[in-house]
Amino acid sequence: MRKAALLSLILFASPGLALAAKPPVVVELFTAQGCASCGEANSYVGKLAERPGVLALTFGVDYWDYLGWPDTFAKPEFADRQKAYVTRLALREPYTPQVVVDGRAQAGGLQTDKVDKLLANAARDPRNPPDMAFIGPRRVDVGSGLVPRGGAEVWLVRYDPREQDVVVRTGDNRGKTVVHRNVVREIIRLGRWRGRPTAYRLPAPSEEGLATAVLVQGPEGGGILAAALKAP
């Protein structure tokens, strides 16, 4: 109890502790360079990345690689994350392009009007997220708050904030240039969050120039409770 109380005091009294009034809405795009219909969705989500109050993340998936072009940004763990949403949101199967908003609702990446409505609804959602703050380069603190049934998990997401163009040489998009923004390069589970103030150690980034986001999220593709951003 004394240790938890001390950590709580550190979290809320440390000099320079930046507490966000409201966390950004998290938009996750699941896309593939070998997907013929994904280019337009990539461009749309790239524009969302410029909106205040929105954290847009682009996850490359690898299950279209058999069409002839291995996605240069895809990792199996990204497809695993999408599969967790498929189960949680009671979908039949994963697909691209797919947009998931705050881990709570989804739409096709070309259904821009529907995605815009999901964003507006998420922005109006009167949640009471835990406070979050980065302490130096290798630590993030999550404050106290309500925990959903089943608990919550803390995820580290590192992404490249630059716009990147990839020329596809083979497959359905042969000869096309696919534009990417906020490409996720790694996602790491930092541990569980049980509603009490907790500090988490951040591993060193695998690449230079990556931005950092930390998400507090229900387990197995649950809703996102809070998000914090740290520039490169």
At 99, which amino acid appears? V
- Compute φ and ψ for 132, nearest 5 degrees: -135, 145
Instruction: Please report the pLDDT score of residue 195 as a whole number.
Output: 95
pLDDT (tens digit, 9 = 90+) per residue, 188-211?
Answer: 999 999 999 999 999 999 999 999
Strands 25-31 and 54-60: parallel
At residue 6, does pLDDT exceed 60? no
Q: How far is Cα 38 from Cα 158, in angstroms, rounded to an integer?
A: 22
Domain count along the chain:
1
Instruction: Please report the pLDDT score of residue 76 as a whole number.
Output: 96
Q: How confident is the model at residue 21 (pLDDT cuts 50, 70, 90)?
A: low
Which token pair is 120? 């507006």
At residue 45, does pLDDT exceed 90? yes
Q: Please report where in the chains the tokens 């690449």 appear, as a residue.
A: 207
Residue percentage of the chain with pLDDT more than 70: 91
What is the domain range of residue 51? 2-230
Q: What is the mean pLDDT of residues 114-143?
A: 94
Residue 115's CATH number: 3.40.30.10
How far apart, in Å, are the Cα atoms of 194 and each of 105, 134, 164, 200? 24, 19, 38, 13
Contact call for residues 155 and 188 (beta carbons, < 8 A)? yes
Q: Which helix (H) or strand (E) holds 79?
A: helix 76-88
For the entire predicted model, the pTM comes to: 0.90
Contact call for residues 218 and 150 (beta carbons, < 8 A)? yes
pLDDT (tens digit, 9 = 90+) per residue, 151-173?
Answer: 899 999 999 999 999 999 998 99
Q: How far is Cα 32 from Cα 70, in angstroms, rounded to an integer?
A: 9
